[in-house]
Every structure is written in C-alpha cells, then in structure tokens.
C-alpha cells in the first residue's frame, strides 16, 4: 500500500513516497486473480497486448468492437445460461447507462429495493420511468406495492403500465445479505413483472460453481429476465455486463450510451475477463477455478466465525464475501481504520491446507517471527451518507487469495482494536 499524508485535515491527500505491506480486507478481489495473475492470466493478457492496441479509442458501435469483445459476450452468456450479453467498460455505468435503455421512459414503472446501489438509483432516475421503492428484502411490502400499482395504473391517466421491472441485488454490498431471489421471482411471475438482478458482488463468488445467486437459490436463469454483473470483483478486471434474450441485448446495444458513445473496453481488459471466466468455469482444463471458490468459502466461514467469537455485531449471511461489522459511533469510525493500519502481528503459523478447526483463537498465538516485518491490516470503513448516521461500519471483503495465516492475523489485530474502542456489542450494550 502506498502511504499518503495530508496537511489540511484530509481535505487533500499527497503521496508521501513510502509503502507498507498490508493484509488487504478492503479489496473486491474475491477469487484472488490479483494475487496469482502471473500464473493464471498473464500469458493470455500479454499476448492480447501484442495483438491489439492498448485502447480502441472509440465506442463499440463505431469501430471499437473486436473479436475479443465478441468472445467475452459469448462466454459470459454461456456461463450465465443466457442467449446473449452486452459488455460495458465500467461497472457503475452498466447500470447507469443500461437501465435507461432497458426501461424506455414513460409508461414504465421500476420497483427498487431500498438498499439498491447508487448506480441502479442513477440509472432508474435518468430513464424517465416512474420509480417506487420497497423496504429492503420485504417481499410482503413488494407484493402490496405491485398490487397497488397494477390497480391504480399510471399517475394522472390511470392507464395500465407498459411494463413493470423489479430491481434487486444478489448481494447487497453494504449489508452482505443475499436477496430472496426465489421469492422475488415468484412474485414477479404472479404479477407479470420483469426481474432485473444486479450480481456485482455475487457472480463468481457464490453458488456451487460460482454462477451466482440463481445457482445458490436454485432459480432457473430463464426466470430472471435481466442478469447484470461487474468484472471488477471476482474477475480481476473492470467493466460489466448485461445478459438476457437476444432481442433484449440487441435493444440495449441500439439504445445505450454505454455501447453507442462510451469508449470500448480495452482489449487487454477484455482478455483478462475472458481468461478468468475460462478458469472459473474449468474450460482451461484445470481445477483452479473450483479450488479458488472453495478457498473463498472457507475463508468466509473462518473470518465470520472469528468475528462471532469476538462478540462484535456483524451483518450479512454465511457464504457472502462481504462481512460488515457495525461500529455505530461515527467518532470511532476513522479511528478503527487507523488503529488497524498501525498494528501488526508476528508469528502466527497455520498450514495452508489446515481445516477451519486449526485456525488459532484470536490474540492467543504470538511467538517470535523473523524479519521482514509482518503486514499490517488495511480495512474500509463506511459512514454517512452511504449508511445511516448511527449505523456506520467496517466492511471487510474476503478473498480466495487470503491464506489461513492472513485470516488469523487479521482477527488478532481486529480483536486488539475492538478492545481498545469498546465494540463488543454482542456481549455488552456499551461494547
């Protein structure tokens, strides 16, 4: 990690020139492609850099569409069980520019979960469609909202809606919770609505083979009209996709600024997506993808169990790579991050192949450890307005690239900071 300094109370930051080795619990590197890139993706990506320019310098619609982009779209569609897919060069823009093309403006109603990501909110607002919000994961509220909308029709005219779209996320990034996809699909079928599923944090990281929440919930991908996801988490790349029927994807490509105006995804990035997808699905002829997914799930269980032992308040569900820990007090939020970054732990040794039971209890295995100095802990903290004022939290992101030693060291550091800041809310009201 590159160190930064501020002379004006963190209004501006300047690189100090120093670096610090850290255990990174803030990155979206779920399957660890950023850690083993040299052995999994390097050869293909460097070869693509020889065959293609560094940038297409134009949009996909105006000459920037290469054979690599076509291969990525076909591979994504096949992986998801959909007819076709469209790729975008930015994850946020996939929702922000894809939804307006999909919704089509007046006469359309989008019903959005209250905790949907800002990119969904931005895309829905800019589409011209009517937006209505239901309480997070409240299927009863969703059903009542839909019934009222169908009964009353459009505002002022009371004509029937041209279409109604339900927008949900696979894993909610600030809560670490899964949506009840089976319940949402059942309600959508009963009310003849479309389902838009954002799998930014779940694709590649959940399901028996990494195919996301549909696989985890036992839902046929054919029952979800639009599958959206990003390549910035599990794929070690950037950009995003929207997958669905051929007619739907064709419409998006005709209407969306992400295809018509925005610069095309760089060929090297497209190759990174393509190679990581082949590894994840086993099409490279190895079991690396399956082992990555198994390591991620093991690390998620170990870390969440460790936090439970500490008595802190966590959110989310088992199997989610996003593990939020509530801090509650805004005044403790920045302190938590800084205290984690100032600490390191020496001498925890856990065999890489050890089962979960072999992980040492936090802060109880400290023995001399030779140089170089052990890594410190880098975490992300989130407060208002991204969360309610008194629900600020640390958001840990677990990766297949973390070793058992990393998880054990992180828990030791977190325990020290939790004791210092009095955050054991599961054991005491005052922490």
- Tell me what pLDDT residue 348 has: 59
- Tell me what pLDDT residue 12 has: 81
- Is 2-30+288-421 in CATH node 3.90.1150.10? yes
3-state secondary structure the chain: CEEEECCCCCCCCEEEEEECCEEECCCCCCCCCCCCHHHHCHHHHHHHHHHCCCCCCCEHHHCCCCHHHHHHHHHHHHHHCCCEEEEECCHHHHHHHHHHHHHCCCCEEEEEECCCCHHHHHHHHHCCCEEEEECCCCHHHHHHHHHHHHHHCCCCCCCCCCEEEEEEECEECCCCEECCHHHHHHHHHHHCCEEEEECCCCCCCCCCCCCCHHHHHCCCHHHCCEEEEECCCCCCCCCEEEEECHHHHHHHHHHCHHHHCCECCCHHHHHHHHHHHHHHHCCCCCCHHHHHHHHHHHHHHHHHHHHHHHCCCECCCCCCCEEEEEEECHHHHHHHHHHHHHCECCCCCCCCCCCHHHCCCCCCCCCCCCCCCCCEEECEEECCCCCCHHHEEEEEECCCCCCHHHHHHHHHHHHHHHHHHCCCCCCCCCC
Mean pLDDT for the stretch of residues 395-408: 95
| pLDDT tens figures, 106-153 | 999 999 999 999 999 999 999 999 999 999 999 999 999 999 999 999
For the chain, the domains span: 2-30+288-421, 37-281
- Tell me what pLDDT residue 347 has: 55
| pLDDT tens figures, 383-392 | 999 899 999 9
- CA dihedral sign of residues 79, 82, 84, 87: negative
Kindly indicate the confidence band of residue 274, based on its pLDDT and cuts at 50, 70 and 90: very high
- Among 156-165, 235-244, 269-278, 365-374, the minimum mean pLDDT is found in 365-374
Distance (Å, whole) CA 418 – CA 225:
44
Distance (Å, whole) CA 290 – CA 293:
5
The predicted model scores a pTM of 0.90
Its CATH architecture, for the domain 37-281, is 3-Layer(aba) Sandwich (3.40)
DSSP β-ladder status, 108-113 and 163-169: parallel
Kindly indicate the confidence band of residue 219, based on its pLDDT and cuts at 50, 70 and 90: very high
- Tell me what pLDDT residue 2 has: 73
Name the percent of the chain lying above pLDDT 90. Answer: 84
- Tell me what pLDDT residue 366 has: 46
| pLDDT tens figures, 70-99 | 999 999 999 999 999 999 999 999 999 999
Pick from 173, 218, 220, 177: which is nearest to 195 by CA? 220
Residue 431 reports pLDDT greater than 90: no
- Tell me what pLDDT residue 343 has: 85
- Tell me what pLDDT residue 357 has: 45
| pLDDT tens figures, 152-196 | 999 899 999 999 999 999 999 999 999 999 999 999 999 999 999
Residue 367 φ/ψ, nearest 5 degrees: -130, 160
Kindly indicate the confidence band of residue 368, based on its pLDDT and cuts at 50, 70 and 90: very low
- What does pLDDT average to over the chain? 91
- Among 14-18, 63-67, 230-234, 245-249, the minimum mean pLDDT is found in 14-18
- Tell me what pLDDT residue 373 has: 58
- Compute the C-alpha angle 39/40/46, nearest 5°: 85
- Tell me what pLDDT residue 14 has: 81
Kindly indicate the confidence band of residue 430, based on its pLDDT and cuts at 50, 70 and 90: confident
- Tell me what pLDDT residue 349 has: 52
- Tell me what pLDDT residue 17 has: 66
Kindly indicate the confidence band of residue 263, based on its pLDDT and cuts at 50, 70 and 90: very high
- Tell me what pLDDT residue 353 has: 44
Residue 371 reports pLDDT greater than 70: no
151 vs 364, residue with greater confidence: 151
| pLDDT tens figures, 318-354 | 999 999 999 999 999 999 999 999 887 665 555 444 4
- Among 50-59, 277-286, 341-350, the minimum mean pLDDT is found in 341-350
């Amino acid at each position: 990690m590159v160190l930064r300094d501020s002379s004006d109370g963190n209004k501006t930051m300047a690189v100090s020139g120093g670096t610090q080795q850290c255990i990174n619990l803030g990155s979206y590197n779920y399957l660890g492609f950023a850690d083993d890139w040299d052995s999994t993706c390097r050869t293909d990506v460097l070869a693509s850099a020889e065959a293609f320019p560094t940038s297409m310098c134009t949009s996909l619609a105006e000459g920037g569409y290469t054979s690599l982009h076509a291969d990525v779209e076909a591979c994504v569609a096949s992986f998801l069980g959909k007819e076709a897919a469209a790729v975008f060069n930015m994850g946020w823009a996939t929702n922000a520019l894809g939804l307006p093309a999909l919704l089509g403006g007046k006469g359309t109603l989008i019903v959005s979960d209250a905790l949907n990501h800002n990119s969904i909110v931005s895309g829905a607002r800019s589409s011209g469609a009517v937006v209505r919000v239901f309480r997070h994961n409240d299927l009863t509220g969703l059903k009542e909202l839909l019934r009222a909308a169908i009964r009353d029709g459009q505002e002022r005219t009371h004509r029937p809606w041209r279409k109604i779209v339900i927008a949900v996320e696979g894993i909610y990034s600030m809560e670490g919770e899964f949506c009840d996809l089976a319940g949402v699909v059942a309600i959508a079928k009963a009310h003849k609505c479309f389902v838009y599923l954002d799998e930014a944090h779940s694709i590649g990281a959940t399901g028996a083979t990494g195919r996301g929440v549909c696989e985890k919930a036992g839902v046929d991908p054919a029952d979800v009209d639009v599958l959206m996801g990003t390549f910035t988490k599990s794929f070690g790349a950037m950009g995003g996709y929207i997958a669905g029927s051929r007619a739907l994807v064709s419409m998006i490509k005709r209407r969306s600024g992400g295809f018509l105006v925005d610069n095309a995804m760089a060929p090297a990035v497209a190759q990174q997506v393509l190679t990581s997808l082949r590894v994840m699905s086993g099409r490279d002829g190895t079991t690396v993808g399956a082992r990555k997914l198994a390591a991620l799930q093991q690390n998620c269980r170990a870390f969440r169990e460790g936090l439970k032992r500490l008595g802190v308040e966590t959110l989310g569900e088992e199997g989610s790579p996003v593990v939020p820990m509530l801090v509650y007090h805004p005044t403790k939020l920045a302190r938590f991050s800084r205290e984690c970054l100032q600490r390191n732990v020496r001498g925890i040794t856990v065999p890489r192949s050890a089962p979960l039971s072999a992980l040492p209890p936090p802060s109880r295995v400290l023995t001399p450890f030779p140089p170089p100095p052990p890594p410190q802990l880098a975490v992300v903290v989130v407060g208002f307005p991204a969360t309610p004022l008194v629900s600020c939290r640390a958001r840990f992101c677990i990766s297949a690239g973390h070793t058992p030693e990393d998880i054990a060291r992180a828990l030791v550091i977190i325990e020290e900071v939790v004791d210092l800041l009095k955050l054991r809310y599961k054991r005491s009201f005052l922490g």
